[in-house]
Structure 1
Amino acid sequence: MNSSRPSFLLVDGNNIIHAWPDLLKLHQRRRGSAHVELIRRLNEYRDYSGQRVVVVFDGRGSTLNEEREPGGLQVIYTSAGNTADDIVERLAIKYAKAYEIVVATDDRAEQDVVVAAGGEVISSLSLRSLLEGSVREMTDWIERNRKRR
């Protein structure tokens, strides 16, 4: 991809929650706790990488709801009648020419739309590896710098 364009990671939150066993278990016990945990992990990644991150969840309200976490993570809850897939696809189509967009989802139809728009797709497993790798790198960096003192 063209590194001169700004990039961001766009995450289909519900798809990821249902793909990761630990988050699915949280979701089955209490829906909101899986959202909070995924947002926490994405914030951690964003803090380390500096990459812009947007996560989209299926919502129940009458209007689209957008929140910004401290540090810049953007959280979108769709309105009733729209799915996270719809919003992710629209965002990919709208911004793929101006930004390097990477979409995390296992939804095949959504992946096809993103690629056709010029975006890149990673699977839920690849997203997990990306997030876990950044945590390991951050931990290693902290340990190395702690030993220098």
Structure 2
Amino acid sequence: MSEQLVVDGYNVIHAWRDLRSLIAESLELARERLVSRLAVLAQVTGAEVSVVFDAHRRRGPVRPEPGLEHESWVDGVRVAFTRRAKSADQVIERMAYEAQERGAPLLVATSDSLHRTMLRGMGAAVIDTDELLRRVTAAEAELARRLRAYSRR
């Protein structure tokens, strides 16, 4: 079974300097950059990666889980936006509860200390945004190494 990673999207955007600097230009651009970087992590590690963003109305087909307004798959990453009355924290907690019920391990990336404590109590493993950045950076380096090796063939 591959690792399931759930990312608190806006928590990471506000924590990572490169993404935070994009907010003034475009929050959408910051979200897209995060998803792009998470896609590399998913591709290199084989992890099932989901990113959850707080309430945001979007157009498009809606057949999401309860509590979600919209979800889609982008480059192998599940991207979910909560309903207006729900927070990303609430949706992530529900995902942790459901994973625990199934006996499936879940890893959550957030630097919200209260949320981290709650998630650990629900049986989820938790990493902070700095650790997520280290993992993403390592995956990007590994992908670059693989591409260089492939291009030398």
TM over 0.5: yes
What does 1:1-149 align with in structure 2 at a 5 Å threshold? 5-61=1-57, 64-71=69-76, 73-97=77-101, 98-147=103-152, 149=153
SS at match of 2:22: helix
Aligned length: 143
Distance 1:131 1:63, change over 3 A: closer
Distance 1:60 1:140, change over 3 A: closer
SS at match of 1:89: helix
| Pairwise CA distance, 1:145 | 4.1
Deviations 1:93-126 (A, max 9, x none): 1113422111000001111121111111111000
CA contact (8 A) 2:40 2:143 kept: no
Rounded to whole Å, the distance in 1 between the matches of 2:68 and 2:96 is 20
Unmatched tracts of structure 1, length 5 or more: none
Identity %: 29
Instruction: Give the TM-score of the pair, scaled to structure 2.
Output: 0.85
Higher helix proportion, which one? Answer: 1
Q: Which has the larger displacement, 50-59 or 60-69?
A: 60-69
CA contact (8 A) 1:7 1:99 kept: no
| Pairwise CA distance, 1:146 | 3.7
SS at match of 1:60: coil
Instruction: Give the TM-score of the pair, scaled to structure 1.
Output: 0.87
Rounded to whole Å, the distance in 1 between the matches of 2:111 and 2:31 is 17
| Pairwise CA distance, 1:76 | 0.6
Deviations 1:22-45 (A, max 9, x none): 111111221111111001111111
| Pairwise CA distance, 1:89 | 1.3
